[in-house]
Amino acid sequence: MADKDDIKTGKDFGLGIRQKNKAFFLKGSGALDWGMQNRLARIFNPKSGRTVMLAFDHGYFQGPASGLERIDLSIAPLIPYADVLMCTRGVLRACVSSETNKPVVLRCSGGQSILSELSNETVAVDIDDAIRLNAAAITTQIYIGAPYEHQSIKNLIKLIDTGNRYGIPTLAVTGVGADMKRDARYFGLATRIAAELGAHYVKSYFVEEGFEQITAGCPVPIVIAGGKKLPELDALTMAYKAVDQGAAGVDMGRNIFQSDCPVAMIQAVSAVVHKGEKPKKALDMYNTLKARIEAKGKGKRKRKK
Ligand code: R5P
């Protein structure tokens, strides 16, 4: 029963002190509702305004790709160093501990494979299931200029509308088909279309020419995918250039989990993204951490013998 005795009348109203109405830190997100902003503030670090998303959703059309054969073994050790996990609901339920407090961006499209037309996707998760899984955001791919362009855009619109109903943001991924030109014109077009349709943030690829125009022309944050595996210094340089030219972080997969030392690589990427560490310094950090991890591994093996 509510206690009615001894109710003290409030006296401390801070008269003369204006109530603060702090602007939300994230580009293009100031007019969103509290739940939406709160989820985005879990994805993007409010201090740096950036994020390191660890992408391991590749299996939904690639099968057990290199580095993702055993997600319980390869991805679990990386989770403490990631800001966000991006994966499918199948892998989330089967291989990721529900005790993790990392926000999850849920892959909500599927229906194709590397053996068929990549743009032929459909929405593959119901919003009810995304809510059950406590998704911080939902995501699908749009394939601009591909055979199923219209269908993929419809998928995005559906996710945005259902997510808006429950305060769950949508990440639009700009998909690239095998024959598509990956230049600033293409990504400028694709990212802008996604934002205009209401995506809360957009994943693109980094391009050497004109990336700044892509981020400037997109009214919501852009994160970059890592793409195919590069030498560590090249991947760190790409991340550095991307954030320097307006990206709000990375959604990186292969350049982390296919690295010689993924645990060291994700920490080096994080230093670049959140602290603006220069690529060569970040590579030194990678090498130092890698040496430490390898020494520890050798020590353990010796003790076992
Ligand atoms: C495609 O499979 C997914 O959208 C990946 O999450 C995305 O391509 C990022 O992964 P990566 O850095 O390996 O390109």
57-116 pLDDT, tens digit each: 999 999 999 999 999 999 999 999 999 999 999 999 999 999 999 999 999 999 999 999
Average pLDDT estimate for 280-304: 89
DSSP type of residue 27: T
**Res. 179: pLDDT tops 70:** no
**Res. 26: pLDDT tops 70:** yes
Cβ of 175 less than 6 Å from ligand 1: no
For this structure, is 302 an active site residue? no
Question: What are the tens digits of pLDDT across the range 109-153?
Answer: 999 999 999 999 999 999 999 999 999 999 999 999 999 999 999
Ligand 1 atom having least distance to the Cα of 55: 6
Residue 260 DSSP SS3: coil
Average pLDDT estimate for 180-193: 91
Which pLDDT belongs to residue 299?
Answer: 73
Kind plus residue range of the DSSP H or E element containing 51: strand 51-55
Question: What are the tens digits of pLDDT across the range 234-269?
Answer: 999 999 999 999 999 999 999 999 999 999 999 999
Mutation pick for ligand 1 pocket among 51, 52, 54, 57 (CB with most ligand atoms within 8 Å): 57
Collect all residues with Cβ–Cβ distance below 8 Å to 31 and sequence separation of at least 6: none
- The residue whose CA has the least distance to atom 10 of ligand 1 is 253
Cβ of 225 less than 6 Å from ligand 1: yes
Ligand 1 centroid to Cα of residue 6, in Å, is: 59
Q: Please, which pLDDT band fits residue 4 given cuts at 50, 70 and 90?
A: confident
The whole-angstrom separation of Cα 47 and Cα 109 is 31
Range in 59-68, 169-178, 227-236 the model is least confident about: 169-178
- The residue whose CA has the least distance to atom 6 of ligand 1 is 55
Percent share of the chain, pLDDT over 70: 97
Which one is catalytic: 27, 47, 158, 203? Answer: 203
